[in-house]
Amino acid sequence: MSSDRVSSYAEALVSVVQAEGDLAATEDELFAVAQALAGSDELRETLSDRRIPAARRQQIVEDLLGGQAAEVTTALVSMVVGAGRGGDIVRIIEAAVERSAGLRNKAVAEVRSAVALSDDQQQRLAEALQRATGKDVTIKVIVDPAVMGGLVTRIGDEVIDGSVRTRINQLREAF
Amino acid sequence: MTARIQDGGRARRPSRLRRRAFVGALILFAALWFGASPVAAAGETPGACVADKVEALNFGGRHGGEALAILKETAATGVDVGAEEKLKSFEKKLEGCLEAPNPIIPEVTEIIWGGIAFVVLFALMQWKLFPAVKRGMDRRAEKIRDDLDAAETARTEALEVKAGYEAELADARAEAGRIIDAARADAEGVRADLIARAEAEAAELRQRSDADVEAAKRQALADLQGEVSEIVIGAAETVIGRNLDHDTQMQLIESYIDDVGSRN
């Protein structure tokens, strides 16, 4: 899928979210959905399989998200899957999140951690990242056990890696 | 060799006078030999001589064989001594018929006739035979001389041809020697080139082999080091994973936040 089409879908999602209000909450939910799909190849392939009827694929989305996410979030994901763009939904959601944060004059800081971060930790981390990068950031935490310990933050193309996994990898390369 | 034969032939060729004397002596000897035979010398055979002696015998008024028979009978009686002496004399005459003439000195007539025959024969030979023989011998000598000259010419030509052949042979040998030397030099160059190439290849092979061995050694060491490091890192990872409890996780997060916050 071309980047223009991804941008168009992302812009459509952001427009709908703006129209429905509570931009940040919907943004978090969409980001969580994207991370869940990114972590499951089987689910992503199922949602992008054109041999499965669109209604069936949309039903799968509604079964998974129904009751756990806002209606607008479920509807947006179902719309993308129904349009046959399930294979690009992760990229579309990430682009939408960045566009949404941009509308609020913020940059998306994707933070990977082995354990969940408290609100206080997220707040202090956002402040620290703002001081370090000069950008007002919104934290998106991804719990990833592969990190082992510490944090890995990605803001756009910039990565600040303080994970135990990276230290161990560096040690392995040093050998 | 041909020249030697030619000189020898000339040296042995008799002079004309000596040749004539030799032929004359030969003819004279032959005339004396055949003309001096006993029968020819007497002018009659022994039988005729005996018959003439018997026919000429007279004894007791008888002639010939009767006279001889009477004489023998008379002499046999031993009464007439004269008859015995006459019989002995007659027998001596008969013995004279049987005696051979002188083998050396022939009869005079024989000598005369023989001399005449010799002179005639010699004159005929001098007139016809000797010039013909001389011409024949001269032709033969000339032919031999011509043959010798031709042989000498041929020999000279052959020597010249031989000299030419020998010169060509020498040139061919020299050329062959040059070719052999050139071939030997080429072969030596090829040999040296091959040896140099083989040595270079061997050196390269050795170097490559050494490099391969060194690379294999380095690879083995690297593999071993990698395996060891993997084991060590894996063990360290396991130990770290076990020790990363909640408090440690929080400390790491706080440390990260402080570290990021201290960046400007």
Q: Give the confidence band of A124 by pLDDT, cuts at 50, 70, 90.
A: very high
Which tokens sit at B51?
């018959």
* CB atoms B253 and A168 under 8 Å: no
Lowest mean pLDDT among A8-22, A68-82, A157-171, B88-102: B88-102
Which one of B229, B241, B260 has the shortest CB-CB distance to A128? Answer: B260
Between helix A23-38 and helix A71-82 the angle, nearest 10°, is: 50
Please give the DSSP secondary-structure letter assigned to residue B129. Answer: I
pLDDT reported for residue B35: 55
Separation in Å, CA of B208 to nearest CA in chain A: 28
Residue A152, classed as helix, strand or coil, is: strand
CA–CA gap between residue A108 and residue A104 (Å, rounded): 11
Tell me whether B243 touches chain A (CB under 8 Å).
Answer: no
B228 Cβ contact partners less than 8 Å away, ≥ 6 residues apart: A175
In CATH, the architecture of A105-175 is 3-Layer(aba) Sandwich (3.40)
Q: Give the confidence band of A1 by pLDDT, cuts at 50, 70, 90.
A: low
CA–CA gap between residue B12 and residue B21 (Å, rounded): 16
* CB atoms B256 and A150 under 8 Å: yes
Separation in Å, CA of B201 to nearest CA in chain A: 38
Q: How many CB atoms lie within 10 A of CB B71?
A: 21
* CB atoms B244 and A151 under 8 Å: no
Q: Which residue, A8, A39, A149, A10, is CA-closest to B243? A: A149
pLDDT reported for residue A113: 92
Tell me whether B231 touches chain A (CB under 8 Å).
Answer: no
Residues of chain B with pLDDT under 70: 1-15, 31-44, 99-102, 264
CA–CA gap between residue B31 and residue B120 (Å, rounded): 13
User: Mean pLDDT throughout A128-149?
Assistant: 88
Interface of A with B (CB under 8 A): 113-115, 117, 121, 124-125, 127-129, 131-132, 148-151, 153, 160, 162, 164, 168, 171-172, 175
The partner residues of B59 in beta bridges, in order of sequence, read B62
How would you classify the pairing of strands A158-161 and B58-59? unpaired
Using CA coordinates, name the residue in chain B closest to A113: B253
* CB atoms A164 and B258 under 8 Å: no
Per-residue CA distances from B9 to B135, B191, B216 (Å):
17, 66, 101
Residue A172's Cβ-side half-sphere holds a number of Cα atoms within 13 Å equal to 15
Which residue is listed with tokens 């049987």? B98
* CB atoms A172 and B240 under 8 Å: no
Separation in Å, CA of A106 to nearest CA in chain B: 18
Residues of A in contact with B263 (CB under 8 A): 131-132
Give yes or no on whether A1-104 and A105-175 have one common fold: no
Residues in chain B: 264
* CB atoms B253 and A148 under 8 Å: no
Is CATH 1.10.520 what the domain over A1-104 is classified as, yes or no?
yes
Residues of A in contact with B255 (CB under 8 A): 150, 162
Residues of B in contact with A175 (CB under 8 A): 225-226, 228-229, 232-233
CA–CA gap between residue A171 and residue B88 (Å, rounded): 179
Query: What amino acid occupies position A35?
Result: Q
Residue B109's Cβ-side half-sphere holds a number of Cα atoms within 13 Å equal to 4
Q: H helices then E strands: how many in chain A?
A: 8, 4
Using CA coordinates, name the residue in chain A closest to B248: A149
CA–CA gap between residue B46 and residue B51 (Å, rounded): 9
CA–CA gap between residue A102 and residue B104 (Å, rounded): 180
CA–CA gap between residue A6 and residue A122 (Å, rounded): 29
Domain spans, chain B: 14-147
Q: How many CB atoms lie within 10 A of CB A44?
A: 18
Using CA coordinates, name the residue in chain B closest to A115: B249
* CB atoms B256 and A117 under 8 Å: no
Domain spans, chain A: 1-104, 105-175
Output the CA torsion B71→B74→B75→B79 (10° steps). -150
Residue B97's Cβ-side half-sphere holds a number of Cα atoms within 13 Å equal to 16
Which of A123, A151, A173 is the best residue to mutate to test the B interface, defined by the most B CB atoms within 10 Å of its own CB? A151
- pTM, rounded to two decimals: 0.46
Separation in Å, CA of B253 to nearest CA in chain A: 5
CA–CA gap between residue B160 and residue B28 (Å, rounded): 54
CA–CA gap between residue A97 and residue A27 (Å, rounded): 6
Burial label for B217, CB within 10 Å (0-12, 13-18, 19+), is: exposed
* CB atoms A175 and B229 under 8 Å: yes
Which one of A115, A131, A151 has the shortest CB-CB distance to B256? Answer: A151
- pLDDT tens for residues B46-101? 778 888 888 888 887 778 888 888 888 888 887 778 888 888 888 888 887 776 66
B46 Cβ contact partners less than 8 Å away, ≥ 6 residues apart: B39, B97, B98
Using CA coordinates, name the residue in chain B closest to A118: B250
